[in-house]
């Protein structure tokens, strides 16, 4: 089963979407808590919450908004952004997040990320934010100089719950999924894959389902994160689920 994650990106206390990770021109959609309740009512399986301010500065910023989402919804929350050390991870999980996502922290300090994945087995995911074949860090603002293969190689021993794969060139543009990037990760990842970025129609969801069926490691496709397409009304969660099941 491929689950649907509704994206809740928080910047300055507001729910926003970015185009290709551009912080200068966010699209503002309103209160994150209201959006979380909306997508829960629409039938999402998970809420994928990202503290964009936290991703930029390296520490959790929108704590109160995340806490309010957890308090007012019943869907499991997957949180990323600014989680760079054990204290931050422990605080997020203790506050009620079902899963946390390590991005920059995992690439910068693979040993520590591996330890955290072992300490909270099944509750720590890895984010691979990919820009022209390179892993981006610090809120997608910098390149790491590390390729996808190198990153997975450094972290291969970590028991991550999943890996969130985002092709930054497609994120927020509603131009389809970078299937070649997903296939590249499928070939080398030891973890279940969650696809993020570019899912904008039922056809995109059908393409993910087709990849899951035909790829020799397609069974590792476990989720899709959908953002702007939901907010713009280009596709519904029900349509995405029907396409994935079909």
Among 31, 51, 87, 129, the one annotated catalytic: 129
Task: Tell me the HSE value of 96 on the side-chain side, using a 13 A CA sphere.
Answer: 16
In the residue annotation, 129 being an active-site residue is answered as: yes
CA angle 40, 208, 21 (to 5 degrees): 70
Task: Give the β-pairing of 221-226 and 77-80.
Answer: unpaired
- Which H or E run includes 180? helix 179-188
CA distance 180 to 94: 37
Distances in Å between the alpha carbon of 95 and those of 10, 68, 92?
17, 10, 5
In the residue annotation, 9 being an active-site residue is answered as: yes
* Residue 31 burial class via C-beta count within 10 angstroms: exposed 0-12, middle 13-18, buried 19 and up: middle
Task: Give the β-pairing of 163-167 and 124-131.
Answer: parallel
Q: State the catalytic residues.
A: 9, 129
């Amino acid at each position: 089963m491929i689950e649907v994650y509704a994206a809740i990106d928080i910047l300055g206390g507001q729910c926003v979407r970015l185009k290709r990770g551009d912080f200068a021109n966010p699209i503002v959609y309103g209160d994150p808590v209201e959006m979380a309740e909306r997508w829960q009512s629409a039938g999402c399986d998970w809420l994928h919450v990202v503290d964009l301010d936290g991703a930029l500065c390296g520490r959790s910023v929108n704590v109160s908004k995340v806490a309010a989402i957890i308090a007012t919804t019943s869907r499991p929350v997957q949180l990323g952004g600014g989680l760079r050390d054990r204290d931050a991870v422990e605080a997020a999980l203790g506050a009620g997040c079902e899963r946390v996502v390590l991005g920059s922290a995992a690439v910068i300090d693979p040993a520590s990320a591996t330890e955290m994945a072992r300490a909270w087995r099944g509750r720590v995911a890895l984010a691979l934010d990919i820009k022209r074949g390179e892993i981006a860090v610090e809120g997608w603002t910098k390149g790491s100089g590390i390729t996808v293969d190198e990153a997975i190689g450094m972290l291969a021993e970590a028991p991550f719950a999943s890996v969130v794969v985002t092709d930054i060139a497609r994120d927020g543009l509603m131009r389809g999924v970078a299937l070649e990037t997903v296939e590249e990760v499928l070939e080398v990842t030891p973890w279940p894959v969650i696809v993020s970025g570019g899912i904008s129609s039922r056809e995109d969801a059908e393409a993910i389902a087709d990849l899951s069926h035909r790829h020799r490691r397609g069974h590792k496709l476990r989720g899709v994160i959908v953002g702007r397409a939901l907010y713009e009304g280009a596709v519904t969660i029900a349509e995405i689920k029907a396409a994935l099941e079909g």
